[in-house]
Structure 1
Amino acid sequence: MGSARIAVVGASLAGLRAAEQLRAAGHTGPVTVLGDERHQPYNRPPLSKELLSAPNHLAVEELHAKVAFRRRAAVADVDFRLGLPVVEADLGRRRLTLEDGDTVTFDALIAATGLRPRRLDLPGPVAGRHALRTLDDCVALRDALCEGNRVVVIGAGFIGCEVAATALRRGCRVTVVEPAGAPLNRVLGGELARAVQRHHEAAGTTFVLGRSVTRFTGRARVAGVELDDGTVLDADVVVEAVGSLPNVEWLAGNGGLDLSDGVLCDNRLLAAGGGRLVAVGDVARFPNPLFDDVPRRVEHWSVPADTAKRAAATVTALLHDREPDPAPFTPVPSFWSDQLDLRFQSFGSPGLADEVRVEEGAPDRLPDGVLALYYRQAVHVGTVAVNLPPARQRELRGAFGALATSV
């Protein structure tokens, strides 16, 4: 089926990599990539750091030019249709419906729609409340981070901590509210999380831990954040960094799909009950034998490229009536985070661990370098390096890669 039509829904990194991998896998037929943003695919991690700290006079187009992915020659003939969300997929008829009523037909479908920020459904004004996922979100928040402004960040995960650090450097007064304990506790574990908190506090950030938000004060726009103990934190700007939701609503109504947390797939990334539907990136929930047989979504930067390669091979095989590759798919999740003068690099899945061992350095001296290894039932499942040299990080990445190939 060399002329088979493949539609990729989602035009961020996962969608772009899916198109590239389809060509690499030998698919020569039409490929259409559909995205709801008007921008060509771009790199998202700088949104909470470099781009958020960029001068206010730089327009969104200038910022996009700094993070746009280079279009490779292999996908020069791919049709990118941007700025029009897909609102419905009919897998039986193999047809997509766009927001403007137009339709796109396909022989195989790749779901690459990623995530959107979770928002707090609480009383109070909306103006002055921000989330960060897109380039336009970044520009709106950047323009609000004026020197002297009181900024309340709700959520102390990686995005919350990165935004807090950037806001502080822009001269804002920053308070972080986190009901679940020390920042990054779920991923790093208690000892390192408390060390990260102390480091941010030494730079000037205030943390309010163990408290949740009940409402926003103000009339036309946010003036404060009220907590469950009655405390009100004054705020000119509020940033909601309270997690994400997978964008799967456009697939609803197709019987057999499990969309309870992304798109449930097997290890080949073939959607359960979806025919010729595969999923890639943040929206794909699949088992990784490197850890166990539990399907999970993984929201790390490395995942779009890894899953795109596997999914493209799977869907290309199906279109040629071949059995997809049965070899175990064992990608090594990895991510990094820059906060103040700290660079975190993670390999594996530290969040699965029940034990943390600090192997190098001391948590109370994070800038000097720390290496922590994460174990679940005595099995090594994750590594976190803080401020270690690049050569050491490559060595750690290689060690996990060797583990993956042995599964």
Structure 2
Amino acid sequence: MGEQRVVVVGAGLGGLRAAEALRAQGYADELVVVGDEPYAPYNRPPLSKEALADEIAHDRLEFRRRASVDDVVWRLGETVTSLDLDGRTVALGSDTLAWDALVLATGVSARRLPVPGPPATAAAGRHVVRTLDDAVALREALRPGARVVVLGAGFIGCEVAATAIGLGCHVRAVALDPLPMVRPLGPMLAAELQRRHEAHGVVFHLGVGVAEIVGGDRVTGVVLSDGTALEADVLVEALGSLCNVGLLEGKGFDLSDGVLADTALRPLQDGVPLDGVAVVGDIARFPHHRFADGAQRVEHWSVPTDTGKRAGAVLSAYLAGEGYDAVVAAPFDLLPSFWSDQYDIRMQSFGMPGLADPDGIRLLEGDLAADCIVGYHRGHDLVGVVGLGMLRELTAYRPRLGRTRP
């Protein structure tokens, strides 16, 4: 057999872990990682947390890479413009790369608000927090006394609000939801976190949208759907994400929410798993049998690592031509987790709290107004836990999470 080539599209955490896993599983031939940004893989969650509050530099966020990927060809600052699945090639501008196996780790992009107003650029005062360059631009704008309006009250929006308060800014947060972070956390914990944000000075405008972003070349304010006018020097659009799945459009894949795949992370083309291709990280929607029937897409920090390792194992067996069926059939039982820092609050979660019944959210330990653990139940099953502090106690719940086994 001649030398093979694996192409990884996406140079984030998922792409890096997939490359490392391929090497760890014995794949020794050519490995090419293509990334839109000019930076080697780096840690993104701190961009809205501690990195935003301090000097932002790539060398402080860059992931330590295993020596096994020292020979990887890193094509950074380049974009894959098209994908030919039949011919097994990808195009990078005028260049074409053939591949024997392909990893799609293209991640997500920040959603922008489609209303009239100044250009959707940092130079115009409209910021998002998805990349290192985004965070650098926003950090420069968060000067003491700046009037900051955050659109969206999910985790990123609330983390940015907390950081901006710590930097001496005046912060208002606007969201359609009735409570901040209510979708992943439920009303009980969301209401408590709103109380803590308000105690630090954040002013919330909840249950309203944005009718207009005011300003010519630069943002000067926003007009809410209830007619309220807010002045702003800085506007942060923390409105969720869009999956980067354009390379697969029109090719027979279910792209309604990321890319539908099986538990081997093979994308389903016209309902059939596509061998030699894997989707990892934020775009992967696949069955989580530990928690639910059907496929789920989970944007948690742990998922790119777990899916990258799984993709590496599957594709290395595929390329070796040995043991492939057994690897594909092996259970894939990951436990999603995330963390969030807001002021002095260290929030940690395990499982899938969003699957809980509306009446299945209960305080398990501690004091809601201090350190505590909240449990999320579906029927009799504990499907998620969230802790404010109490990390040691929270970790003890991990083995209990998931559906009841017979």
TM-score (norm 2): 0.93
C-alpha deviation, 1:191, in angstroms: 1.2
Aligned to 2:103: 110
Alpha-carbon distance change, 361 to 391 in structure 1, aligned in 2, over 3 angstroms? closer
- Whether 1:296 and 2:296 are equivalent positions in the alignment is yes
Counterpart of 1:86 (choices 70, 80, 85) is 80
* Aligned partner letter, 1:393: L
Aligned to 1:29: 29
Counterpart of 2:197 (choices 184, 197, 200) is 200
Secondary structure of 1:226 counterpart: strand
C-alpha deviation, 1:399, in angstroms: 4.3
Matched residues in 2 for 1:7 and 1:82: separation? 13
C-alpha deviation, 1:393, in angstroms: 3.4
Counterpart of 2:125 (choices 113, 123, 128) is 128
Matched residues in 1 for 2:39 and 2:403: separation? 35
Note if contact 1:182-1:193 (Cα within 8 Å) is conserved in structure 2: yes
> For each residue in 1:281-304, what CA deviation from the matched residue of structure 2 results, as whole angstroms up to 9, or x when unmatched?
101110110112221111011001
Unaligned 5+ runs, structure 1:
none
Secondary structure of 2:329 counterpart: coil
Aligned to 1:260: 256
C-alpha deviation, 1:162, in angstroms: 0.2
Aligned to 1:358: 363
What are the residue-to-residue correspondences of 1:212-361 with 2, within 5 Å?
212-253=209-250, 255-273=251-269, 274-321=274-321, 322-323=324-325, 324-354=327-357, 355-361=360-366
Note if contact 1:2-1:27 (Cα within 8 Å) is conserved in structure 2: no
C-alpha deviation, 1:257, in angstroms: 1.9
Note if contact 2:142-2:169 (Cα within 8 Å) is conserved in structure 1: yes
Aligned to 1:372: 374
Aligned to 1:391: 392
Matched residues in 2 for 1:118 and 1:145: separation? 21
Counterpart of 2:63 (choices 69, 75, 85) is 69
> For each residue in 1:136-169, what CA deviation from the matched residue of structure 2 results, as whole angstroms up to 9, or x when unmatched?
0000000011111100001010000000000001
C-alpha deviation, 1:39, in angstroms: 0.4
Matched residues in 2 for 1:404 and 1:80: separation? 41
Note if contact 1:331-1:404 (Cα within 8 Å) is conserved in structure 2: no
The two structures, once aligned, show a CA RMSD in angstroms of 1.6
Alpha-carbon distance change, 406 to 8 in structure 1, aligned in 2, over 3 angstroms? farther
Residue range with higher mean Cα deviation, 315-324 or 279-288: 315-324
Counterpart of 2:164 (choices 167, 180, 191) is 167
Matched residues in 1 for 2:2 and 2:228: separation? 64
C-alpha deviation, 1:11, in angstroms: 0.1
C-alpha deviation, 1:2, in angstroms: 7.5
C-alpha deviation, 1:405, in angstroms: 12
Secondary structure of 1:182 counterpart: coil
Alpha-carbon distance change, 405 to 376 in structure 1, aligned in 2, over 3 angstroms? closer
C-alpha deviation, 1:251, in angstroms: 2.4
Aligned to 1:156: 153
* Aligned partner letter, 1:34: V
* Aligned partner letter, 1:260: S
Secondary structure of 1:225 counterpart: strand
Note if contact 2:80-2:91 (Cα within 8 Å) is conserved in structure 1: yes
Matched residues in 2 for 1:320 and 1:163: separation? 46
The aligned length equals: 393
* Aligned partner letter, 2:76: L
C-alpha deviation, 1:398, in angstroms: 4.7
Residue range with higher mean Cα deviation, 323-332 or 181-190: 323-332
Percent identity between the two aligned chains:
52
C-alpha deviation, 1:317, in angstroms: 2.0
Matched residues in 2 for 1:405 and 1:4: separation? 43
Residue range with higher mean Cα deviation, 266-275 or 378-387: 266-275
Note if contact 1:14-1:308 (Cα within 8 Å) is conserved in structure 2: yes
Secondary structure of 2:252 counterpart: coil
Matched residues in 2 for 1:53 and 1:398: separation? 35
4+ residue runs over 6 A deviation: 404-407
> For each residue in 1:79-109, what CA deviation from the matched residue of structure 2 results, as whole angstroms up to 9, or x when unmatched?
11100111111111111011x3211110110
* Aligned partner letter, 1:29: D
* Aligned partner letter, 1:243: G
* Aligned partner letter, 1:167: A
Aligned to 2:384: 382
Note if contact 2:210-2:225 (Cα within 8 Å) is conserved in structure 1: yes
Note if contact 2:381-2:403 (Cα within 8 Å) is conserved in structure 1: no
